[in-house]
């Protein structure tokens, strides 16, 4: 009843192939964007905006990136953290390099810096994607760990990447775009949100294009895809490139916008794992799923951690943390049993139901 | 998947989202809010538990015995972050505005310290990083809100070297000696390398660097190399699971334990007890003395444990526990100074910054605080957030840690210029102006 | 000439200690192999199971004050119970799902076990002493860690035992049948449920043994679960489905990473062990994508 698409006729191919062909979807997205762009910065507190929403959005962006590689192109990767690190450190090098050249005024525009950092990450991603032509499945997942550990090590070891800072920790320069400095949590949040929305839309369109169809063909069966004319080399490597670009941008945002300082450990193996979890829990092959998964993996533990003190249950922070772990684990299993295809699938099913509700037949 | 389930799920999600934005309630009486980021779980919990217990017990004692600081009750609240930097930042943001605003933070984690350096500057909250964090943070004009106090890693490195040269009969005797630096290969472990290189050039000893891959569970290759190099001394910059493995491995290559010196994060009961007999004779730096005989510890035993409270009796008197207690007494002293200066009981974090810059731990204050002989005297200023501290070398005898040195002062002629240099670089990269003092 | 002898002795020492360390990795890897072989599940929880088993062992010892053998038996019971729970509440509900979903489910188990283990037994470091020898033996200038010798022997014994179990017993044959083809095995009357419980129990047992070895070395603490990361290159190199592969892979990785760290490390700044193990395994994979002893992957369109 609420979700009827009857009467919405498409009279051109363009309309038929729109990203959101159904009116209700368009309204829903518009409302969501309004809330995200106006509602949250206006009404939510600094804690919610700065410590919850901003990191969530950045990790969701990385999850979108990994979802392109794992969900659409079928290549499991555990090198996400490393590609984020490449993005973060490239952005830092680009930013400080331009400071060194022409003083603080002549810096490379911030947005360009971040995008270029993504490009560098893409190149590195392609390099480490080459073994995927031979290695498949979990073997590939473990092989990408080689990238993870190697890049982490390289960034710690080579002083040039950190401008010879004694401890290998970089402090990001201030966020200035066209002379305007993004300072408060809300401003930083909006900065991140803009990036994330634009890039998520780009990803959504990309996976609907012929490139995306190539990825999916490779995922479903690479030999068959090869036979019908997709080149595995190019298809897989573009997936690695695009995915790493997203991860690189996410890494740069994490360093510049969220933490303001970055050490390679911030992009360690745990980061790679948690982003893979987001993709699987959220739903492989779904951009929406990346967001839902990121929410599940980042917000749920924080929420669980907040509950016992909130309801006045005084059991000590260590016990809370243990409970958080246990409940989180149980919920992962619970959701997998309820819907193995990810939380995004629940949304799809929900839509189906709403379409006919309250008269199922 | 029925509709009912779906609706239930949606309602559940809404309920889940609700408390994330809940604000803190206001309050009437004079209170001092001291949040503490702790890690009682996770891979570094063995070190996190005693540091958390020390703080928790100290403030419980103050509230119990004195009813707070000058009548202002202390609200001590823990936030668990499991040594995970993201969660540490989240904890900081979660707690900073509670109960009228957090007064000071003490994360006991290098990663979180780095991440909070900028945030505390914006929020104007002091960050007490006694014995860890950025070595250059002692420059008060560049890091007005960070208080490393006592000494930093560079000062510690020079002090350990001074101790070694005393053992060998003077700096000149070090010329043909070899020192092996075994460090955990992350930001924290690497912090001491530049100053060791400078010293090696200046004093002519041979420096060999041996990184240990994080988290340092498997160190065979490192110790095979150490054995081949036959160093005269080994200095270790370790933390967590790495320490006791290293102590065991050193015993495995039959290196004399008394020539093996850890830094002050590699010298606690948690490192030596699991290593068993291998640890007997092992030395480490420390700026606080272990033991239960100090008045402040006795007071805790009496007022907290005596009443059946307390966070963990087995930790009382341990190195890390006492370190945490000492840290709290410094905060206590800072609060007292600020209360006196500004004439209010419930001070703000900005006032506490002034207080921390004006604490004077001399013999009189130490006696008042009950920490006589437990920690060297310091007197930080606005420019100098270290305050000219010193530290000791202690040795493990199989049961407890014993001091084996007089207080050692760092070679400030080497350390201070190096600090100033990187602090200036930090200001330049951040595009910040140095803070003014006075 | 003398220099050469010393250098050669040192080389031998590095090689030997690398091989021994490798067997310690193999112990962890074995648990992965068992479960992957019988159920196709990439068990991320193996590290957590190892930690949980070791924690329980020490916990029982402390709490009940019993001899370690009693604690060992109690822990075995706990691990069997755990296996039963995993089958009953997790895997049993996820029959016929894709491997990655099962993998994710084991991650849920990991989180649960990490929290549960610490709830029961605390997060503090606990010394584990069941009378295994410590310290090193001196063989003419070559130091050999006694504990590692014991670990090596144990690993060898375990592999032998498992090989006999798989090849000679009825259950073992059933396990292999399941590994080959779930459907066919079920159709000849093998209970998939029981097989899974058995396999997870055996993996739990292997985890316990690995936990004892590593726990004696490091003390029982949360970091033990991170050792799973050291086992992954071993697994990859040996093949996910081969028990001897886990041992051979362990030997190659152990010796390889130590030799690289000592002879290559100093030129590039050291601490290369971690990534070198993975790189080494990856190079092997480029030539044999299913690992040294893994089953050949046959693809049909």
Distance, in Å, from the CA atom of C15 to the CA atom of C254, rounded to the nearest integer, reads 9
B40 contacts chain C (CB < 8 A)? yes
Q: What confidence tens digit (pLDDT) does each residue in B359-377 have?
A: 988 898 899 899 988 998 8
- Closest approach of A160 to chain B, Cα-based (Å): 15
Contacts from B14-19 at CB under 8 Å and sequence distance 24+? B16/A299, B16/A300, B16/A303, B17/A299, B17/A303, B19/A303, B19/A306, B19/A307, B19/A310
Which among B211, B252, B274 is the nearest to C270, CB-wise? B211
Measured in degrees and rounded to the nearest 5, phi and psi for residue B317 equal 90, -5
Quote the pLDDT of residue A1.
Answer: 57
Distance, in Å, from the CA atom of A176 to the CA atom of A191, rounded to the nearest integer, reads 11
Please tell me which residue of chain A has the smallest CA distance to B95: A47
Mean pLDDT for A325-330 is 92
Distance, in Å, from the CA atom of B4 to the CA atom of B288, rounded to the nearest integer, reads 61
Q: Are C299 and A223 in contact (CB < 8 Å)?
A: yes
| Class of the domain covering C2-287 | mainly alpha
Q: Are A51 and B93 in contact (CB < 8 Å)?
A: yes
* CB proximity under 8 Å: C 23-52 to A: 42
Identify all chain A residues contacting B114, using CB atoms and an 8 Å cutoff. 169, 171, 261, 263
Helices B319-342 & B349-357, crossing angle to 10 degrees?
110
Q: Are B40 and C123 in contact (CB < 8 Å)?
A: yes
Helices A300-310 & B85-95, crossing angle to 10 degrees?
40
C156 contacts chain A (CB < 8 A)? no
Quote the pLDDT of residue C185.
Answer: 84
Helix (H) or strand (E) holding C61: helix C46-64
Q: Are C301 and A224 in contact (CB < 8 Å)?
A: yes
Pairwise pLDDT comparison (C227 vs C201), residue with the higher score: C201
Categorize the per-residue pLDDT at A104 as very low, low, confident or very high, splitting at 50, 70 and 90: low
Pairwise pLDDT comparison (C139 vs A229), residue with the higher score: A229
- Please provide the DSSP assignment of B74-90 as one string: EEEEEEE-TT-HHHHHH
Distance, in Å, from the CA atom of C151 to the CA atom of C148, rounded to the nearest integer, reads 5
Is the CB of residue B234 less than 8 Å from the CB of residue B255? yes
Pairwise pLDDT comparison (A178 vs C230), residue with the higher score: C230
- Residue with token string 């006075």: B438
- Closest approach of B362 to chain A, Cα-based (Å): 33
- Tell me the pLDDT of chain B averaged across its residues: 87
Mean pLDDT for B277-304 is 92
Q: For A236, what's the count of Cα atoms within 13 Å in the CB-facing half-sphere?
A: 26
- Closest approach of B299 to chain A, Cα-based (Å): 23
Between strands C136-139 and B401-403, the pairing is: unpaired
Mean pLDDT for B106-121 is 87
Q: Are B20 and A306 in contact (CB < 8 Å)?
A: yes
| Residue A169: pLDDT over 50 | yes
Query: Which residues lie closer than 8 Å to C191 by C-beta, 6 or more apart?
Result: none
Query: Which residues lie closer than 8 Å to A195 by C-beta, 6 or more apart?
Result: A61, A114, A249, A253
In the CATH scheme, what is the code of domain A21-34+43-356?
1.10.3470
* CB proximity under 8 Å: B 191-230 to C: 209-213, 215, 217-218, 220-222, 224-225, 227-228
Please count the other Cβ atoms lying within 10 Å of the Cβ belonging to residue A80: 35
- Residue with token string 């006196």: B340
- Closest approach of B190 to chain C, Cα-based (Å): 12
Between strands B146-147 and B127-128, the pairing is: parallel
In this predicted complex, what is the ipTM?
A: 0.89
Helices B241-252 & C192-218, crossing angle to 10 degrees?
60
| Residue B185: pLDDT over 70 | yes
B248 contacts chain A (CB < 8 A)? no
Nearest to A272 by CA among C278, B320, B269, C93: C278
Is the CB of residue A326 less than 8 Å from the CB of residue C116? yes
Identify all chain B residues contacting C261, using CB atoms and an 8 Å cutoff. 221-222, 225
Helix (H) or strand (E) holding C279: helix C273-287
- Closest approach of C258 to chain B, Cα-based (Å): 5
Q: Are B422 and A165 in contact (CB < 8 Å)?
A: yes
Q: Are A157 and C269 in contact (CB < 8 Å)?
A: yes
Q: Are A150 and C278 in contact (CB < 8 Å)?
A: yes
Structure tokens that stand for B16 in this block: 């889940």
Least confident of A150-154, A354-358, B48-52: A354-358
Is the CB of residue A250 less than 8 Å from the CB of residue A125? no
Q: Residue C66: helix, strand or coil by DSSP?
A: coil
Q: Are A332 and C108 in contact (CB < 8 Å)?
A: yes
Q: Are B87 and A310 in contact (CB < 8 Å)?
A: no
Is the CB of residue B415 less than 8 Å from the CB of residue B195? yes
Nearest to C110 by CA among C48, C53, C52: C48
Residue ranges and CATH numbers for the domains of chain B are 31-151+292-389+417-430 (3.40.50.2300), 153-286 (3.40.50.2300)
Categorize the per-residue pLDDT at C137 as very low, low, confident or very high, splitting at 50, 70 and 90: confident
Quote the pLDDT of residue A99.
Answer: 62
Structure tokens that stand for A95 in this block: 């930013």
Nearest to C217 by CA among C77, C23, C31: C23
Q: What confidence tens digit (pLDDT) does each residue in B14-63 have?
A: 444 444 444 444 445 789 999 999 999 888 888 899 999 999 999 999 99
- Closest approach of A211 to chain B, Cα-based (Å): 33
Helix (H) or strand (E) holding A31: helix A23-34
DSSP label at residue C195 = H
Give the rounded percent of residues in chain B with a pLDDT score beyond 90: 39
| Residue C15: pLDDT over 70 | yes
Quote the pLDDT of residue B2.
Answer: 46
Is the CB of residue A219 less than 8 Å from the CB of residue A284? no
DSSP label at residue A340 = T
Pairwise pLDDT comparison (A214 vs B4), residue with the higher score: A214
Which among B42, B210, B227 is the nearest to C270, CB-wise? B210
Predicted TM-score (pTM) of this structure:
0.90
Q: Are C143 and B42 in contact (CB < 8 Å)?
A: no
What are the extents of the domains in chain A? 21-34+43-356
Angle, vertex CA A331, rays to CA A329 and CA A332, nearest 5: 65
Cis check: omega of the bond before A358, within 30 degrees of 0: yes
Measured in degrees and rounded to the nearest 5, phi and psi for residue B295 equal -55, -40
Contacts from A305-308 at CB under 8 Å and sequence distance 24+? A305/B80, A306/B19, A306/B20, A306/B94, A307/B19
| Residue B383: pLDDT over 70 | yes
């Amino acid at each position: 009843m609420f979700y009827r698409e009857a009467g919405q006729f498409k009279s051109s191919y363009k309309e038929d192939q729109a990203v959101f062909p159904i009116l209700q979807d368009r309204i829903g997205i518009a409302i969501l964007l309004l809330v995200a762009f106006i509602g949250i910065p206006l009404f939510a507190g600094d804690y919610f905006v700065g410590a919850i929403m901003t990191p969530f959005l950045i990790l969701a962006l990385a999850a979108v990136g990994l979802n392109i590689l794992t969900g659409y192109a079928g290549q499991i990767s555990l090198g996400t953290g490393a590609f984020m690190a490449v993005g973060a450190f490239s952005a830092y090098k680009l930013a400080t390099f331009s400071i060194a050249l022409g003083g603080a005024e002549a810096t490379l525009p911030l947005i360009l810096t971040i995008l270029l950092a993504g490009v560098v990450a893409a190149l590195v991603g392609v390099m480490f994607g080459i073994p995927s032509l031979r290695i498949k499945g979990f073997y590939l997942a473990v092989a990408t760990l080689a990238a993870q550990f190697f890049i982490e090590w390289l960034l710690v070891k080579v002083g040039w990447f950190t401008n010879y800072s004694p401890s290998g920790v970089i402090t990001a320069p201030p966020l200035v775009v066209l002379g305007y400095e993004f300072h408060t949590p809300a401003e930083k949040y909006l900065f991140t949100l803009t990036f994330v929305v634009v890039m998520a839309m780009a990803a959504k369109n990309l996976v609907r294009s012929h490139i995306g169809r190539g990825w999916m063909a490779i995922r479903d069966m690479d030999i068959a895809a090869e036979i019908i004319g997709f080149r595995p080399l190019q298809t897989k490597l573009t997936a690695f490139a695009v995915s790493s670009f997203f991860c690189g941008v996410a890494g740069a945002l994490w360093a510049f916008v969220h933490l303001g300082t970055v050490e390679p450990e911030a992009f360690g193996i745990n980061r790679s794992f948690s982003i893979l979890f987001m993709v699987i829990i959220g739903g492989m092959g779904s951009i929406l799923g990346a967001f839902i998964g990121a929410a599940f993996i980042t917000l749920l533990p924080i929420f669980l951690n907040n509950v016992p003190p909130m309801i006045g249950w005084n059991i000590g922070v260590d016990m809370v943390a243990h409970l958080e772990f246990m409940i989180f684990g149980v919920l992962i299993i619970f959701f997998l049993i309820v819907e193995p295809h990810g939380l995004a699938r629940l949304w799809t099913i929900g839509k189906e139901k709403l379409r006919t509700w309250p008269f199922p037949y | 998947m029925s509709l009912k389930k779906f609706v239930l799920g949606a309602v559940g999600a809404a309920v889940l989202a609700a408390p994330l934005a809940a604000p803190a309630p206001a309050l009437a009486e004079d209170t001092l809010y001291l949040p503490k980021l702790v890690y009682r779980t996770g891979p570094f919990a063995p070190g996190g538990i005693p540091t958390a217990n020390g703080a928790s017990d100290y403030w419980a004692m103050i509230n119990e015995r004195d009813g707070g600081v000058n009548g202002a009750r202390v609200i001590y609240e823990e936030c668990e972050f499991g040594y995970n930097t993201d969660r540490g930042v989240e904890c900081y943001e979660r707690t900073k505005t509670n109960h009228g605003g957090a007064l000071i933070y003490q994360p006991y984690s290098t990663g979180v310290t780095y991440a909070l350096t900028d945030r505390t500057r914006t929020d104007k909250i002091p960050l007490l990083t006694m014995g860890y964090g950025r070595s250059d943070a002692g420059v008060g004009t560049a890091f007005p809100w960070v208080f490393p106090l006592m000494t930093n890693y560079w000062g510690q490195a020079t002090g350990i070297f001074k101790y070694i040269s005393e053992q060998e009969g003077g700096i000149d005797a070090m010329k043909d000696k070899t020192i092996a630096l075994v460090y955990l290969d992350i930001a924290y472990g690497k912090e001491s390398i530049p100053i060791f290189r400078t010293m090696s050039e200046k004093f002519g000893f041979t420096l060999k660097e041996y990184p240990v891959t994080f988290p340092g569970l498997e160190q065979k290759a490192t110790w095979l190399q150490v054995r081949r190099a036959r160093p005269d001394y080994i200095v270790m910059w370790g933390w967590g699971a790495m320490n006791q493995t290293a102590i065991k491995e050193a015993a495995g290559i039959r290196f004399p334990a008394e020539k093996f010196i850890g830094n002050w994060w590699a010298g606690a009961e948690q490192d030596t007890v699991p290593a068993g007999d291998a640890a007997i004779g092992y030395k480490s730096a420390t700026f606080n003395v272990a033991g239960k005989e100090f008045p402040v510890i006795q007071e805790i035993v009496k007022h907290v444990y005596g009443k059946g409270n307390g966070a963990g009796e087995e930790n009382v008197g341990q190195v890390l526990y006492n370190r945490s207690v000492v840290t709290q007494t410094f905060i206590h002293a800072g609060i007292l100074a600020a209360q006196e200066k500004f004439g209010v009981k419930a001070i703000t974090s900005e006032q506490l910054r002034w207080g921390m810059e004006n604490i004077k731990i001399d013999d009189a204050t130490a006696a008042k605080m009950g920490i006589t002989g437990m920690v060297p005297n310091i007197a930080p200023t606005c420019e100098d957030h270290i305050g000219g501290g010193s530290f000791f070398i202690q040795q493990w005898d199989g049961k407890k840690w014993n001091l084996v040195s007089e207080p050692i002062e760092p070679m400030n002629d080497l350390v201070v210029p190096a600090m100033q240099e990187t602090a200036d670089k930090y200001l330049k990269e951040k595009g910040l102006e140095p803070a003014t003092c006075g | 000439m003398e220099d050469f002898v010393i250098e050669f002795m040192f080389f031998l020492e590095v090689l030997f200690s690398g091989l021994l360390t490798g067997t310690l990795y193999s112990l962890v890897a074995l648990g992965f192999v068992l479960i992957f072989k019988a159920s196709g599940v990439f068990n991320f929880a193996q590290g957590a199971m190892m930690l949980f088993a070791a924690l329980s062992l020490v916990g029982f010892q402390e709490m009940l004050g019993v001899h370690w053998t009693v604690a060992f038996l109690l822990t075995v019971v706990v691990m069997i119970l755990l296996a039963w729970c995993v089958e009953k509440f997790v895997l049993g509900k996820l029959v016929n799902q894709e491997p990655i979903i099962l993998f994710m489910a084991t991650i849920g188990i990991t989180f649960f076990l990490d929290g549960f283990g610490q709830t029961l037994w605390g997060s503090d470091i606990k010394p584990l002493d069941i009378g295994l020898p410590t310290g090193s033996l001196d063989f003419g200038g070559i130091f050999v860690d006694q504990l590692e010798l014991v670990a090596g022997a144990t690993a060898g014994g375990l592999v032998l035992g498992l090989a006999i179990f798989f090849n000679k017993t009825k259950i073992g044959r059933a396990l292999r049948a399941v590994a080959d083809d779930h459907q066919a095995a079920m159709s000849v009357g093998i209970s998939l449920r029981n097989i899974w419980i058995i396999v997870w129990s055996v993996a739990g047992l292997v985890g316990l043994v690995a936990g004892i070895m590593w726990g004696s070395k490091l003390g029982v603490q949360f970091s033990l679960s991170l050792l799973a990361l050291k086992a992954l290159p071993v697994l990859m190199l040996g093949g996910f489905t081969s028990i001897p592969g886990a041992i051979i892979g362990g030997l190659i990785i152990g010796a390889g990473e130590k030799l690289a760290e000592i002879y290559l490390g100093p030129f590039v700044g050291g601490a290369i062990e971690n990534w070198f193990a993975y790189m080494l395994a990856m190079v092997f994979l480029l030539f044999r994508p299913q690992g040294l002893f893994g089953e050949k992957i046959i693809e049909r369109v």
